[in-house]
Structure 1
Amino acid sequence: MITRVATFAMSERMLEASLRTQSRMSEAQLQQASGAVSTDYGGLGRSAGTLVSLEVSLARSKSQSSAAEEAGNRVQVMYDAVGSMNELMSSFRTSLSSAISAGGDDDATLAATAQSLLEEFASLLNTRFEGRYLFAGSDTGTAPVNLSAYAATDAATQDTSYYQGNSVKASVALSSERTLTYGVTGDASAFEQALRALSAIANATTPPDTATLQAISDLTVDAIDQLAVVQAKLSIDAATLERSTAAQTDYQDEATSLISAINGADVTAIAVELSSYETQLQASYSALAKVQSLNLMDYLN
């Protein structure tokens, strides 16, 4: 082997410098590909704790906004169903008014109308959305209304024997400090009054007289008023959920921006940096090759 002319130490230093540049270039290439300053928390130094806190907070916010959005969709379906119930009862009130004016001459038609509306009202209370019975309380797998054994005939006596659910209303966490209880259960007074009024006609054992028709009409008016109150409450719930979702979305945008500021890589700056590293490496390899090509024979000849 031909001995080099005192180039060993110089070659080692140049090789080490080239390897360091190559390492920095590899790191920059990884940043360019991932868009992040570091692929692990260790590369962020003291900023790592802040980043972890922001990421946990962001994940929690996304979970809460998703839950609020789902709850908002359920409330909207309930609101629409109650609106349809109100329309049914308004139609029934009109039929009752006609029957009272006619002195009860067409009891069979009124009874048939009441039976049809009773079944339709029950169907609305059994509204199912995304696999959940919305008016059943927390017993979302059970249809809340069963008319098979329900035959309320006394307009003055409350009767919730139709109800198969429970009294536990749904709730959703809007933040770490606030929970919203929303919705309404099928045994609410508005629904009970409506079903009682319809059943009193549909299941009457004898044709109702004018006084009875008037009492049922009054009960129907009360039910319509109560349904309007229920709908107003659902509207408030929907607005609250919408505001919460909007607030969470704003926070998520801010948190994402902060996370990007901590760990986001400047791709443009990295491209310039990579170009500089490439130039340095080319120069280092060229110089290293030149030094390693020197040998004793070149000087002896």
Structure 2
Amino acid sequence: MTTPISTVSTLQALLTRRRIAADLQDQMGRASQEVSTGTRADVYRSLGMRSAETLALRARMDRNAGLIASNQVLGNRMEMMAELLGVIRGTAQGVLDLAISSRDAPGATVEAMQTAARTALDQLQSQINASYHGAALFAGVDSGQPPLQGWDEVNPRSGLSPRDVVEGVIGGGFTGAADAAAKAAELETIFASADAGQPARNFEATFYNGTPRLDAGGAPSPRLTAHVEEGVTLSYGVQANDAPFTELLRGLSMLAATDPAQIADPDAYRAWVGAAVDAVSAGVEGLIETEARLGGQQQLLAQTIATQTDRNDLYNSQILSLEGVDPYEAASRLSTLQTQLEATYAVTARLSRLSFLNFM
């Protein structure tokens, strides 16, 4: 009986060894990558059907990271708002400290009250008109322009400047306490934007250029809000037409538009200056409440960011448990592959040196 003998040519053996060496090199490359990165070289091929889990986790982590980034920008904006509210309150407090001693009758500070109020109005215009990343901080939703009109600047919508409005109410001065009280009440109506007879004089028509308190239909205008978490919206808007600002600006405008030292009638002085100082005081108190409310919103945002950061850490841990590799197993596999590759190189080198003459 004849038994066939299967033979393999030296060339075929050499080519086979080279293919094996190339495959081992590829496996070593992937193993080396896994050792250095701690994650699978081909995640989706390694996980198979579980690839959907890591894709879903990564999508959730990306959405969460996007919320963290936008919330951090919002946090910076709110921090700037909080700092400015403190500065605005300080500016007003300086005038109040000066004027309080001369509230009911001319005192030692009466000569400086008008200048101090006028200087404060200029400072407040700059402070209230501050912007962050090109958006006015206290203009509401309509943040594309500074909210506060300059004291001497004519508002093109009304054709009047704030100074025109206040001085128009004061006219030639005060004939007595009743006249001073009536003019103070008229300004209160104007700064509340409630002057139906001459609406062009209203605060929101001449003094203010941001989002009005009420829309054209009489409903409250939307305030600034931010989507800070899935299903959670934070309302954080502070506007220059809020009551603390209008009260503050009303009192300062009353002191800036007339020189208290020139009001001869004591009763008229008490009615006018008293109303002005009370308005500034109410504005300062309102700003304190506004700062407290904004501080609570900042705390809520900080807690939200902390929760989202912890959630991102959890997502990352879950992804690593799916995509990661055991560093000891990967290093052992790399060492084994290196040994196999070295052996393959040795055999391949020996085969490459063989020829028919070696057996003659």
| TM bucket, shorter chain | 0.7 to 0.9
Shift in alpha-carbon separation, 1:141–1:272, aligned structure 2, 3 A: same
Contact kept, 8 Å, 2:142 with 2:211, in 1: the verdict is yes
Within 5 A, what are the aligned runs for 1:274-289? 274-287=334-347
Give secondary structure in 1 for the equivalent of 2:225: strand
Moved over 6 A (4+): 291-299
Q: Which residue of 2 aligns with 1:84?
A: 87
Q: Report the CA distance between 1:268 and its aligned residue.
A: 4.5
Does 2:305 match 1:245?
Answer: yes
Shift in alpha-carbon separation, 1:294–1:223, aligned structure 2, 3 A: closer
State which drifts further: 88-97 or 232-241: 88-97
Within 5 A, what are the aligned runs for 1:24-35? 24-32=27-35, 34-35=37-38
Q: Which runs of 5+ in 1 are unaligned?
A: none
Shift in alpha-carbon separation, 1:293–1:217, aligned structure 2, 3 A: closer
Q: Report the CA distance between 1:35 and its aligned residue.
A: 4.3
Q: Report the CA distance between 1:184 and its aligned residue.
A: 0.5
Q: Report the CA distance between 1:104 and its aligned residue.
A: 6.3
Q: Report the CA distance between 1:164 and its aligned residue.
A: 0.7
Amino acid at match of 1:162: F
Give secondary structure in 2 for the equivalent of 1:169: coil
Give secondary structure in 2 for the equivalent of 1:145: coil
Does 2:202 match 1:142?
Answer: no
Corresponding residue to 2:225 among 171, 196, 210: 171
Amino acid at match of 2:252: L
Q: Deviations over 1:67-106 (max 9, x none)?
A: 1111111111111111122222222222222223543686
Q: Which runs of 5+ in 2 are unaligned?
A: 154-160, 170-182, 192-202, 213-221
Give secondary structure in 2 for the equivalent of 1:174: strand
Within 2, Cα distance between the matches of 1:242 and 1:278? Answer: 51
Which has the bigger relative contact order, CA under 8 A and spacing at least 6?
Answer: 1
Amino acid at match of 1:150: P
Within 2, Cα distance between the matches of 1:130 and 1:54? Answer: 33
Q: Report the CA distance between 1:288 and its aligned residue.
A: 5.5
Q: Report the CA distance between 1:37 and its aligned residue.
A: 0.6
Q: Report the CA distance between 1:17 and its aligned residue.
A: 5.3
Contact kept, 8 Å, 1:79 with 1:235, in 2: the verdict is yes
Shift in alpha-carbon separation, 1:275–1:122, aligned structure 2, 3 A: same
Within 2, Cα distance between the matches of 1:21 and 1:36? Answer: 20
Q: Percent identity?
A: 24
Q: Which residue of 1 aligns with 2:194?
A: none
Amino acid at match of 1:180: L
Q: Deviations over 1:30-73 (max 9, x none)?
A: 43455431356344312211111111111111111111111111
Q: Report the CA distance between 1:171 and its aligned residue.
A: 2.1
Corresponding residue to 1:260 among 279, 295, 320: 320
State which drifts further: 57-66 or 148-157: 148-157
Contact kept, 8 Å, 1:183 with 1:237, in 2: the verdict is no
Does 2:128 match 1:120?
Answer: no
Q: Report the CA distance between 1:250 and its aligned residue.
A: 0.9
Q: Deviations over 1:105-131 (max 9, x none)?
A: 865521111111122122211122232
**TM-score, structure 2 as length reference:** 0.72
Q: Which residue of 1 aligns with 2:217?
A: none
Shift in alpha-carbon separation, 1:19–1:111, aligned structure 2, 3 A: closer
Shift in alpha-carbon separation, 1:293–1:146, aligned structure 2, 3 A: closer
Q: Which residue of 1 aligns with 2:175?
A: none
Within 2, Cα distance between the matches of 1:253 and 1:7? Answer: 57
Shift in alpha-carbon separation, 1:107–1:17, aligned structure 2, 3 A: closer
Q: Deviations over 1:119-144 (max 9, x none)?
A: 21222111222322111112223011
Within 1, Cα distance between the matches of 2:107 and 2:29? Answer: 92
Within 5 A, what are the aligned runs for 1:56-135? 56-100=59-103, 102-103=105-106, 107-135=110-138
Q: Report the CA distance between 1:281 and its aligned residue.
A: 2.1
Within 2, Cα distance between the matches of 1:298 and 1:231? Answer: 95
Contact kept, 8 Å, 2:251 with 2:275, in 1: the verdict is no
Q: Report the CA distance between 1:218 and its aligned residue.
A: 2.1
Shift in alpha-carbon separation, 1:14–1:209, aligned structure 2, 3 A: same
Q: Which residue of 1 aligns with 2:285?
A: 225
Q: Report the CA distance between 1:267 and its aligned residue.
A: 4.3
Contact kept, 8 Å, 2:96 with 2:281, in 1: the verdict is yes
Corresponding residue to 2:273 among 200, 213, 221: 213
Within 2, Cα distance between the matches of 1:116 and 1:295? Answer: 103
Amino acid at match of 2:80: V
**TM-score, structure 1 as length reference:** 0.85
Contact kept, 8 Å, 2:101 with 2:109, in 1: the verdict is no
Shift in alpha-carbon separation, 1:104–1:290, aligned structure 2, 3 A: closer
